[in-house]
């Protein structure tokens, strides 16, 4: 379980997050919805301990990671997988090497076991035949699937998606959303999805938190979003995509 308790974050004089509190339970998919540049991706980085909040607490499975040192954080981070907005694949490595990179780095597994796990993820992501290609030769949707495979290979409890369908064509977006939905059914995973596309939220999320001007203005099950009366939520329900 991931908990953010009264988290605030300032960059210089600019306050990005103001007293944000969120809870993400295991085996559920939570979406964080908000316009671009409001601090959604920052929330994911806070959950991983990649950045520290100015105040408040970040708690992962009961452990307060707010003031934890970088070295101690590594074991916590391995409980979570992260799919970055730009995929963050290593461009000089092949797809297989990208998928197996962190297994080779962090776990002392025999090479056969690593190859087997890589093959499983290749199959799961539907990338058979592309094992030896470099990321640059794949389409945006395929790269995203590699990034998801890389995040899943550790068998994390929770997976964090930063704008999983941003920049993808409708067909690829649909495939990625189906892939995310299947995670819950097949692997019993929890997920946090940061997005500015409201359709994605209705497609996959059990619950949704809406971030507006650094504050959470709505946090409930997805179905109740239609009942929300906040003018911003009303406007996004009619516009569907947030480009504010």
Partner 1 sequence: MPLTIIRSIENKIVLQLKDFFLTMQEFFLFSLRAFVAFPKMIRYWRDVFDQATICGTDSIPIVLVSAISIGALLAIEVGNLLEDFGAKTMLGRSTALSVIRELGPLLMGLMLSARFGSRNGAELGAMQISEQIDALRAFGTDPIAKLVMPRLVAALIMFLPLTALSDFAGLQSAAYMAEHYHRIDPGIFWNAVYPRLAPKDFVVGFLKAPVFAVIITLVSCFNGFSARGGTAGVGRSTIKGIVVSSGLVLIANFYVSKIVLENM
Q: What number of other Cβ atoms are within 10 A of residue 184's Cβ? A: 16
- Residue 177 carries which DSSP code? H
C-beta of 154 vs 218, nearer to partner 1: 154
Least distance (Å) between residue 64 CB and partner 1: 19
Residue 97 found at the interface with partner 1 (CB under 8 A): no
Least distance (Å) between residue 105 CB and partner 1: 5
Q: What residues contact residue 120 under an 8 Å CB cut-off, 6+ apart?
A: none
C-beta of 147 vs 225, nearer to partner 1: 147
Q: Terminal CA-to-CA distance of the chain, rounded, Å?
A: 31
Could you tell me which stretch among 101-109, 113-121, 126-134, 190-198 binds partner 1 (CB under 8 A)?
101-109
Query: Which residues ranging from 118 to 157 are in contact with partner 1 (CB under 8 A)?
Result: 150, 154
Q: Helix H segments across 32-129?
A: 40-48, 70-77, 95-106, 111-124
Q: How far apart are the C-alpha atoms of 210 and 35, rounded to whole Å?
A: 9
Least distance (Å) between residue 83 CB and partner 1: 10
Contact 4, 215 (CB under 8 A): no
Residue 37 found at the interface with partner 1 (CB under 8 A): no
Interface positions with partner 1 (CB under 8 A): 45, 48, 50, 70-71, 74-75, 77-78, 80-82, 84-86, 88-91, 102, 105-106, 150, 154
């Amino acid at each position: 379980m991931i908990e953010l308790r009264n988290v605030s974050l300032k960059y210089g004089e600019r306050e990005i997050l103001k007293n944000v509190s969120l809870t993400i339970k295991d085996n559920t998919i939570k979406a964080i919805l908000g316009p671009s540049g409001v601090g959604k991706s920052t929330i994911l980085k806070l959950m991983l301990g990649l950045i520290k909040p100015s105040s408040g607490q970040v708690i992962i499975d009961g452990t307060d990671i707010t003031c934890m040192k970088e070295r101690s954080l590594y074991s916590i981070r391995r409980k979570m997988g992260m799919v970055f907005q730009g995929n963050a694949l290593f461009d000089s490595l092949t797809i297989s090497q990208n998928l197996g990179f962190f297994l080779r780095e962090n776990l002392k597994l025999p090479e056969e076991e690593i190859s087997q796990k890589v093959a499983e993820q290749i199959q799961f992501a539907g990338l058979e035949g592309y094992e030896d290609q470099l990321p640059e030769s794949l389409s945006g949707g395929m790269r995203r699937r590699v990034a998801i495979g890389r995040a899943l290979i550790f068998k994390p409890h929770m997976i964090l998606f930063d704008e999983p369908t941003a920049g993808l064509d409708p067909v690829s977006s649909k495939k990625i959303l189906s892939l995310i939905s299947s995670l819950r059914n097949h692997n019993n995973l929890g997920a946090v999805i940061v997005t500015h596309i409201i359709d994605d939220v209705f497609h996959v999320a059990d619950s949704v938190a809406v971030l507006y001007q650094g504050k959470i203005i709505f946090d409930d099950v997805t179905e109740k979003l239609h009942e929300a009366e906040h003018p911003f939520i009303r406007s996004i329900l009619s516009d569907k995509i947030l480009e504010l």
